[in-house]
Amino acid sequence: MSQDENTERDPRFGLEEALDGELPRETVERMQRHTADCPECAEEWERVRRIKELVRRSCADRAPSGLRERIAVQYRSVSVTRTTDADGSTSVRISSRSTRRELPGT
């Protein structure tokens, strides 16, 4: 990237648009030819391409099933029943019940 290019227009302008396919093919081809001769721009092209790929993969990946299991909401209710028999003895009955609700999208 020469100093003359910097004063007129930053050559990185449009890099993300080029990688997203939002620029005319001829413009993208010209940018790619430039990166073949300019190590600094080639490095920037590759850096932005890797970042965009990482973001794309991160947004598309689904959480592992083990993680979804841990995130699932689980309710537990406990009931205690106390009864007194005719002879005056008291008995306690404890019961519990779990209800599992999946999160949306799982």
Rounded percentage of the chain residues whose pLDDT exceeds 70: 69
Residue 92: is its pLDDT beyond 50? yes
Q: Is the pLDDT higher at 87 or at 70?
A: 87
Q: What mean pLDDT comes out for the span 34-48?
A: 91
Can you give the residue ranges of every domain in the chain? 3-60, 67-101
Element (H, E) at 15: helix 15-19
The pLDDT value recorded for residue 24 is: 93
The pLDDT value recorded for residue 3 is: 44
Q: For the beta carbon of residue 18, count every other beta carbon within 10 angstroms.
A: 22
**Cα separation of 92 and 101, whole Å?**
30
CA dihedral 15, 20, 21, 26 (to 10 degrees): 10
**Cα separation of 11 and 32, whole Å?**
12
